């Protein structure tokens, strides 16, 4: 292994003791690339490490001063040791630095109960209703009641001797995970680089490895790691029918699948999401660049762990594949939640069929520590688990595997970016394979421009039903007060264009005049009273994020019965207008669907362009061939650049006058685009149709009464 990157990206061992004679140990430094927190406790005798000091990011709370376990000595010998790793975040257990991943406070009741340090009087609670009833029944004088003719001896429980406090087998969470679950606050870890994850995967003990690239449906495909397959040396299967389905490189088999998580954010029903699969694959193919046009995309899955959509099929695929499964993706894309939904549980007692040839590859054997080494480390700190890292594994990026159980504890699911501190290895199938949750890569820095109390609102946790915003000339749409969408009016004919916007974001939209929107976004003193969730000073950092041409044709999806085959059935090229659309993406938050109706005369304002189209159509005329230039031109929107546009214009080539919408954001970042998904058509609320009113019985009763009187009079 190359020593140049050993100290910069390798873990430095589990416990780094200063001297074996000292009673306490240094902070356990399992330096995963995702977590390199170093103790700030000033200590003159500490050894200096060559690893770089990297400051961890703080999102919600400030770090507290360092404390040590020496201030609270143990009054009782523990019967257990702390778990090797926190099963919630994957960090190694430590008792030195609070507010850091893996820290266990021995004064916590659940920790003391797990270690066997809880006293009997602390274990019993006087307010427990069951104990109060049992104590009252045991105090009853049964003999006195029998002399009065009441026999309760058979109904009362026997007075058993006092028993010791029961031990807890379930390992506790570290203080950081406990705070994340119950108080929704905590510290974010330092996000690793994609090269660090590559080094981690290269140390896999399995020959059969499969990488599950998890993408977020909220801002798809902005969470795509376009260089992942090339860095991991994964050859995606091409469209050539003679391409081999399995390839071994460097003695390992490396495959990759794309998993679009949280698909319940796209549509209310599973069938509607399934109908979007051709669109999702084509959008992913364009996002992959040049390689996207040469590969197969049969390995794309669109799942929802919250609604259990296609999770069972993915679980069976993981089980049948075996080996090591790696969850790779950016922060807050739903890896940990998906991990729990697709992990094969309760399958330790499986038996392979005799007639079936097994393709699973088991891991290599690892040396176990001797009893003397375990005893020596346990004497150093009785709370830490007794395991010595093998010298060959001192700089290993992978933590030791946890003991396999049928129903293991799953990682913590939290909206805090960077919850997973270290790789979490959970084996399944009695050695059949492992599923490994890796720390998330840095997604964006948009949250640093938002107030701390508003940062959890940036994450789309449930499906959004937006209201239709009508942007007339001179109006803009504000998102949270710090992101602005403004339609651009190029000529006098564009004043008639009316844009429709649908904000599929958890941050509230606000429609106002453009001059007022600019004042709110720049945080001016005379700004209107509109909520701006950005931190003070963000207005001065507002930049132009891009001018996007609304040039995707969505006429057929928007016109409804006019172009429907079961209704009027007109062809799109016969209509005198076009409906154009685009999706403006906000990284990590969601998207804004924009649509506008434009007449063909405005798209082709010059008469020679119309004559040129009509001449190429033959007898059909210009109206019959308006669809051809839309299909022939490159429909990828690009920022407006007049000089480049004039240089690239060829003689005789038509240049449609596309509508343009400008987007302004902090530092001009965090904005993207994609072809329109037409999510409004799938998510718009149904109109309540009034049922036919019930016929009044007042006239009928009068008629029956009159007929009855007439009959009586005749008789």
In terms of Cβ atoms closer than 10 Å to its own Cβ (0-12, 13-18, 19+), residue 463 is middle
Q: Once rounded to an integer, what is the mean pLDDT over residues 540-558?
A: 91
Containing 340, the helix (H) or strand (E) segment is: helix 335-342
Domains in the chain with CATH codes: 184-349+368-437 (3.40.50.300), 448-683 (no CATH)
Predicted confidence at residue 119, as pLDDT, reads 66
pLDDT computed for residue 139 by the predictor: 75
Expressed in angstroms, the distance from the first to the final Cα of the chain is 117
Separation CA 563–CA 575 (nearest Å): 9
> Residue 488, CB half-sphere, CA atoms under 13 Å: how many?
17
pLDDT at 359 over 70: no
Distance CA 322, CA 434 (A): 7
Q: Characterise 665 by phi-psi region: left (phi > 0), alpha (psi -120 to 50), beta (else).
A: beta
Instruction: Give me the percent of the chain exceeding a pLDDT of 90.
Output: 30
Closest CA to 235 of 221, 214, 216, 249: 249
- Name every residue whose Cβ is closer than 8 Å to that of residue 259 and which is 6 or more positions away in sequence: 212, 213, 214, 215, 300, 301, 302, 303, 314, 338
Please list the residues that pair with 210 across neighbouring strands.
255, 325
Confidence of residue 353 (pLDDT cuts 50, 70, 90): low
pLDDT at residue 169 greater than cutoff 80: no
If 0-12 CB within 10 Å is exposed, 13-18 middle and 19+ buried, where does residue 577 land? middle
Give the model confidence (pLDDT) of 15-25 as tens digits: 333 333 333 33
CA separation for the pair 306, 257 (Å, rounded):
20
Supply the pLDDT for residue 253.
Answer: 86
What the block records as the tokens of 563 is 């172009």
- Nearby residues of 540 by Cβ (< 8 Å), 6 or more positions away: 522, 523
pLDDT band at 391 (very low <50, low <70, confident <90, very high): very low
Strand blocks (E) in 288-356: 300-302, 323-328
- Position 428 pLDDT exceeds 60: yes
pLDDT at 625: 34
Q: What is the pLDDT of residue 273?
A: 94
Half-sphere exposure of 9 (CA within 13 A, CB side): 18
Gap between the Cα atoms of 254 and 321, Å rounded = 12
At residue 632 the predicted structure's pLDDT band, cuts being 50, 70 and 90, is: very low
Which range scores top for mean pLDDT: 71-75, 288-292, 306-310, 443-447? 306-310
Q: How confident is the model at residue 128 (pLDDT cuts 50, 70, 90)?
A: low
pTM, 2 dp: 0.74
What's phi and psi for 396, nearest 5 deg? -80, 140
Rg of the chain taking only CA atoms, in angstroms: 33
β-strand 208-216 against 252-261: which pairing, if any?
parallel
Strand-pair partners of 475 = 513
Tokens (6 digits) for 358:
């097994």
* pLDDT-based confidence at residue 157 (cuts at 50, 70, 90): low
pLDDT recorded at residue 53: 33
- CA 23 to chain CA centroid, Å, is 43
Q: How far apart are CA 397 and CA 202, in angstroms?
A: 10
Angle at 451 between CA 36 and CA 413, to 5 degrees: 50
Phi-psi region of 361 (alpha: psi -120 to 50; beta: other; left: phi over 0): beta
CA-closest candidate to residue 497, choices 517, 515, 470: 470
Q: What is the 3-state secondary structure (H, E, C) of 543-567?
A: EEEEEEECCEECHHHHHHHHCCCCC
pLDDT tens per residue across span 645-673: 444 444 445 567 889 999 999 999 999 99
Task: Find the mean pLDDT for residues 502-506.
Answer: 95
E strand residue ranges, 152-232: 208-216
Count of residues in the chain = 715
User: Is residue 534's pLDDT more than 90?
Assistant: yes
The mean pLDDT of 604-619, rounded to a whole number, is 47
Compute the mean pLDDT over every residue in the chain, rounded to the nearest whole number: 75
- Burial label for 632, CB within 10 Å (0-12, 13-18, 19+), is exposed
Nearest to 547 by CA among 508, 582, 513, 523: 582
User: Is residue 190 within 8 Å of residue 55, measured between CB atoms?
Assistant: yes
**Cβ neighbours of residue 403 under 8 Å, at least 6 residues apart?**
none
| Degrees, nearest 5: CA angle 410-414-416 | 135
For 248-251, the CB contacts below 8 A with 24+ separation are 248/207, 251/207
pLDDT of residue 485: 95
Q: Using N-to-C axis directions, what is the helix angle for 335-342 and 311-321, rounded to 10°?
A: 70
Q: How confident is the model at residue 375 (pLDDT cuts 50, 70, 90)?
A: very low
Judge whether residue 591 has pLDDT over 50.
yes
Counting Cβ atoms within 10 Å, is residue 64 exposed (0-12), middle (13-18) or buried (19+)? exposed
Q: Assess whether pLDDT exceeds 50 at residue 28.
A: no
Neighbour tally for 701: CB within 10 Å: 10
Cα dist from 70 to 66, 106, 305, 381, 538, whole Å: 12, 11, 44, 11, 45
What is residue 210's predicted lDDT score, i.e. its pLDDT? 93
When comparing pLDDT for 321 and 493, which is higher? 321
Please tell me which of 107-111, 323-327, 681-685 the model is most confident about, judged by mean pLDDT. Answer: 323-327
With a CB cutoff of 8 Å and minimum separation 6, the contacts of 192 are 32, 33, 34, 439, 441
Strand partners, 323: 433
Residues 6+ apart with CB under 8 A from 391: none
User: Comparing C-alpha atoms, which of 529, 531, 492, 487 is closest to residue 508?
Assistant: 531
Please compute the mean of the pLDDT values over residues 572-585 and round it to a whole number. Answer: 91
Of 233-247, 453-467, 618-632, least confident by mean pLDDT is 618-632
Separation in Å, CA 101 to CA 91, 200, 340, 449, 580: 6, 20, 21, 25, 49
Residue with tokens 């919600």: 60
- Per-position DSSP letters for 484-518, written without gaps between them: EEEEE--SGGGGG--EEEEEESSSPEEEEEHHHHH
Q: How confident is residue 195, by pLDDT bands cut at 50, 70 and 90? A: confident
pLDDT tops 50 at residue 167: no
Alpha helices in 203-276 (DSSP H): 228-231, 270-275
State the pLDDT at residue 79: 79
């Amino acid at each position: 292994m190359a020593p140049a990157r050993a100290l910069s990206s390798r873990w430095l061992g589990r416990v780094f003791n200063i001297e074996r004679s000292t009673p306490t140990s240094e902070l356990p430094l399992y330096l995963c690339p995702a977590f390199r927190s170093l103790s700030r406790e000033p200590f003159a005798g500490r050894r200096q490490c060559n690893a770089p000091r990297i400051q961890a990011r703080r999102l919600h709370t400030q770090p507290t001063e360092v404390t040590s376990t020496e201030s609270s000595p143990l009054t009782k010998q523990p019967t257990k040791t702390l778990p090797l790793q926190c099963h919630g975040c994957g960090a190694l257990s430590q008792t030195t630095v609070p507010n850091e991943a893996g820290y266990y406070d021995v004064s916590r009741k659940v920790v003391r109960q797990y270690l066997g340090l809880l006293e009997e009087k602390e274990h019993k609670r006087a307010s427990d209703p069951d104990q109060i009833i049992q104590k009252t029944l045991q105090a009853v004088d049964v003999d006195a009641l029998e002399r009065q003719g009441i026999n309760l001896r058979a109904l009362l429980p026997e007075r058993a001797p006092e028993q010791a406090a029961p031990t807890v087998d379930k390992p506790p969470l570290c203080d950081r995970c406990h705070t994340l679950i119950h108080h929704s606050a905590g510290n974010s870890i330092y996000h690793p680089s994609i090269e660090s994850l590559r080094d981690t995967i290269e140390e896999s003990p399995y020959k059969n490895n499969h990488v599950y690239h998890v993408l977020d449906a909220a801002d798809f495909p902005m969470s795509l790691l376009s260089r992942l397959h090339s860095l991991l040396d994964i050859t995606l299967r091409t469209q050539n029918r003679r391409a081999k389905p399995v390839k071994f490189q460097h003695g390992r088999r490396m495959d990759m699948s794309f998993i679009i998580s949280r698909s319940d954010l796209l549509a209310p029903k599973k069938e509607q999401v399934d109908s979007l699969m051709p669109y999702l694959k084509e959008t992913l193919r364009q996002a992959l660049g040049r390689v996207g046009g040469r590969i197969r995309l049969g390995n794309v899955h669109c799942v929802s762990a919250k609604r259990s959509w296609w999770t069972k099929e993915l679980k069976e695929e993981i089980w049948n594949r075996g080996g090591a499964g790696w969850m790779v993706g950016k922060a807050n894309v739903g890896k940990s939640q998906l991990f729990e939904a697709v992990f094969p549980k309760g399958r330790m007692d499986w038996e392979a069929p005799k007639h079936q040839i097994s393709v699973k590859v088991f891991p290599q054997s690892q040396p176990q520590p001797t009893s003397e080494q375990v005893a020596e480390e346990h004497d150093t700190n009785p709370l830490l688990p007794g395991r010595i890292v093998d010298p060959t594994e001192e700089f290993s990026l992978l933590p030791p595997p946890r003991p396999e159980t049928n129903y293991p504890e799953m990682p913590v699911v939290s909206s805090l970016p960077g919850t997973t501190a270290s790789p979490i290895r959970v084996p399944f199938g009695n050695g059949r394979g492992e599923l490994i949750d890796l720390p998330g890569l840095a997604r964006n820095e948009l949250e640093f421009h938002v107030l701390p109390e508003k940062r959890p609102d940036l994450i789309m946790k449930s499906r959004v039903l937006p209201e239709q915003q009508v942007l007339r000339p001179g109006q803009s749409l504000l998102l949270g007060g710090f992101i602005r969408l403004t339609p651009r009016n190029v000529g006098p004919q564009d004043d008639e264009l009316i844009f429709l916007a649908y904000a599929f974001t958890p941050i509230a939209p606000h429609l106002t005049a453009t001059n007022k929107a600019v004042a709110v976004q720049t945080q001016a003193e005379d700004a209107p009273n509109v909520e701006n969730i950005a931190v003070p000073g963000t207005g001065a950092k507002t930049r132009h994020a891009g001018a996007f041409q609304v040039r995707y044709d969505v006429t057929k999806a928007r016109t409804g019965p006019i172009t429907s085959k079961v209704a009027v059935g007109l062809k799109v090229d016969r209509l005198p207008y076009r409906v154009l659309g685009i999706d403006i993406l906000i990284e990590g938050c969601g998207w804004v669907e924009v649509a506008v109706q434009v007449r063909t005369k405005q798209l082709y304002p010059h008469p020679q362009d119309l004559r040129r189209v009509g001449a190429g159509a033959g007898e059909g005329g210009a109206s019959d061939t308006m669809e051809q230039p839309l299909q022939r031109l490159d429909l990828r929107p690009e920022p407006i650049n007049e000089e480049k546009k004039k240089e690239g214009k060829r003689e005789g080539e038509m240049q449609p006058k596309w509508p343009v919408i400008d987007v302004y954001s902090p530092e001009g970042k965090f904005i993207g685009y994609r072809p329109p998904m037409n999510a409004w058509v799938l998510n718009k609320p149904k109109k309540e149709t009034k049922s036919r009113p019930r016929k009044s019985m007042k006239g009928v009763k009068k008629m029956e009464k009159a007929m009855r009187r007439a009959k009586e009079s005749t008789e």
